[in-house]
Amino acid sequence: MKHIPVRLGPLALLLTVVAICMTVLGLLTFSTARADLAMAQKLAASTQQRYELEAEGQAFLQEAAEAAGKEFVTKVTGGVSYKIYGFTQEALSALGMEKDENGVYWKELSHDSQTLRIGLDFADAADHEGKGFTVVCWQFSREWQAPEEIGGLWAGE
């Protein structure tokens, strides 16, 4: 019987290259999935903090209304402006709000690195028998933190 040699050299080389490529692609997929999970967890924590600040701000307005002994009523007017009736300036000062030079009362609420800044203006209180104000600012902000490592780039120092 005649023996015919099987030539596996090129086939073995092709299978080795395919196996290496599949391994590299698998590692890249795994590392990308881990990075996506880390980003999703950071976003979830940030969103949770923001919702907590939002709830705390709404609770503050409720508390201010109760401190003034009036009914808590809100009415949306013109997009993002809210009219809130039934408050007195004295009650808001007692709740720790600071008044600036323009007559706007400010309250800041913070959780970790996020801050909710609330501004209340009494300028249109005459429309409501001196018992109202407008929420002129409901602004979220976050402290900027420089990344500790920027991937081996020169920081300019």
Please state, as a whole number, how many other Cβ atoms lie within 10 Å of the Cβ of residue 39. 10
- The whole-number average pLDDT for the span 23-30 is 97
69 conformational bin, left if phi > 0, alpha if psi -120 to 50, beta if neither: left
Distance CA 97, CA 95 (A): 6
Strand-pairing partners, residue 140, are: 116
How far is CA 99 from its chain centroid?
Answer: 27
Please give the radius of gyration of the chain, using alpha carbons only, rounded to the nearest integer: 30
Distance CA 105, CA 142 (A): 21
pTM: 0.60
pLDDT at residue 103 greater than cutoff 60? yes
Closest by alpha carbon to 126, among 153, 155, 103? Answer: 103
pLDDT at residue 81 greater than cutoff 50? no
pLDDT at residue 19 greater than cutoff 70? yes
Contact 60, 118 (CB under 8 A): yes
- The whole-number average pLDDT for the span 12-26 is 96
Edge-to-edge order in the sheet of strand 81-85:
73-77, 81-85, 132-142, 114-121, 104-111, 98-99
What does pLDDT average to over the chain? 77
Task: Provide the percentage of residues in the chain whose pLDDT is more than 90.
Answer: 27
For the ranges 63-77, 87-101, 139-153, the maximum mean pLDDT occurs at 139-153
Confidence of residue 129 (pLDDT cuts 50, 70, 90): low
